[in-house]
Amino acid sequence: MIRLFVAIELPQEVRDRLWRACCDVPGARWTEAEQMHLTLRFVGEVDELVFRDVEAALEEVRGSPFDLEVKGVGHFPPRGEPRVLWAGLGRSEPLVALQKRVEAAVERGGVARDGRRFSPHVTLARLSDTPERAVGSWLAMNGLLRSDPFEVRDFHLFSSRLGGKRAVHRVEATYPLRATGTA
């Protein structure tokens, strides 16, 4: 079985900017800068045949390059005990359209539709026994977190191997963004 997800890699300067905000929260297990990405679709564990079908279906996804920017922070769940700290992305219709095309491709590849609403974010930390007061302080301190706009020119199919303290992600395929009808 292969554990897969589809994501956009962030430029190094954006990951560095996010990493600088990753501090001062007890019980936080911070995401390493190299691991930060924007997940378009978590696929989960699939067999080799479904992996190949998803990989091929993603080849059909079209879209033009577009700009994104990091904009703000928050936590999941929005009510109750926080379990994840995240950085948000500015509103982007091209991003939402790309995610819908990726979702459809993954479904064509043999994976059931994900019923959750797409909420574009970069996971910064997973929390364990973190006082809500510490989360509130971190949110207040980083509420204006921003990055310069950056261009998204492609997306990737990643495999993820769980082990030790962190998952190891590997790019299995890269899909350049290009408008319909172009090579």
Find where tokens 């890699």 sit.
Answer: 9
The neighbouring-strand residues paired with 2 are 46
CA distance linking residue 105 with residue 50, whole number of Å: 12
CA distance linking residue 120 with residue 40, whole number of Å: 8
Catalytic residue from among 75, 121, 156, 169:
121
CA distance linking residue 95 with residue 98, whole number of Å: 5
Longest dimension (CA), the chain: 52
Catalytic residue from among 37, 75, 156, 169:
37
100-126 in b/e form (b: 16+ CB < 10 A) is: ebbbebbeebebeeeeeeeebbbbbbe
Annotate 16-59 with three-state secondary structure.
Answer: HHHHHCCCCCCCEEECCHHHCEEEEEEEEEECHHHHHHHHHHHC
Annotation says 121 is catalytic: yes
Q: Which residues are catalytic?
A: 37, 121
